[in-house]
Amino acid sequence: MKRPSKIPERVRVPARGARVGAAARSFPSAGVALAALLLVTAAATAEDPEIEVRKAVRPTPGNAILQTIPAEASARLLERGWVLIETPGSEDDHFEGLEALVIFERPPNETLRMLAQTGRQTEYRKDVHTIETIEFEENGSIDEHRMRIMFVRIAYRIDYDIDYEALRMTWRLDPRFENSLKHLEGYWELYELGGGRTLARFGTDVEVGPAIPPMLQDSVTRSKVPKSIDNTRKWVNSGGKFRP
């Protein structure tokens, strides 16, 4: 699926993965720089009342990404918890779907453990009626999703791969199944933001199959993504208690 020429509220950020470190050095930001200033605390003790203890706010990978987006978009991200992004094309980044930045109010490891519970997506995604785990794998699972849009029944299987060390989760269609969708892939990449929070990069690319009439295509593609992102964020933040 090719990206449309214009998507409202989408901001540009560098490509994923290795560019995070470079971004921190190349894009200074007043807001993030302030967070990195040394906090000086005078600690008087009986032995030496003039001892000065200096504590630094450690820069984080999440802050490095925040430095790359305009202040207005950063403010919107902090206010509502997500914002659409655009990644410049490069030889090592061929993802062509919709992408976003999302803030979770939980640490990266805990956030990933929540997202890894893929069978619970029906709790916050109203578009999916049932999810059945077909196979459990060492670092993921294969889930069968079933949904109904008006008069059309849709079924497809997703192969999830979860890397807990890299804080990354990816998925794609299981080619062994007769999927109603022609193409599906996506990812979550999680970065420490500080303060027990996580900055996540999300991407999804969906291409419907011939079984789905053109008039219904938006119901399973881009028109539902922003709401799905927001519901996912609320569900993780609530520890799985949120219901739309």
Neighbours of 3 (CB within 10 A): 17
What pTM was estimated for this model as a whole? 0.76
pLDDT digits (tens, 9 = 90+) for 177-204: 999 999 999 999 999 999 999 999 999 9
The pLDDT-based confidence of 86 (bands split at 50, 70, 90) is: confident
CATH 3.90.1150.10 applies to domain 11-29+58-237: no
**What mean pLDDT do residues 26-37 have?**
32
Ramachandran angles phi, psi of 61, nearest 5°? -55, -35
Q: Is residue 126 pLDDT above 70, yes or no? A: yes
d(CA 30, CA 180): 48
Identify which has the larger pLDDT, 124 or 208: 124
pLDDT value at residue 234: 98
Mean pLDDT of the chain: 79
User: For 202-229, how does the pLDDT look when each residue is reduced to its tens digit (9 = 90+)?
Assistant: 999 998 888 777 777 776 666 788 999 9
Q: Long-range CB contacts (< 8 A, 24+ apart) of 163-166?
A: 163/139, 164/109, 164/112, 164/139
> What local confidence, expressed as pLDDT, does residue 91 receive?
52
Q: Where are the domains of the chain?
A: 11-29+58-237
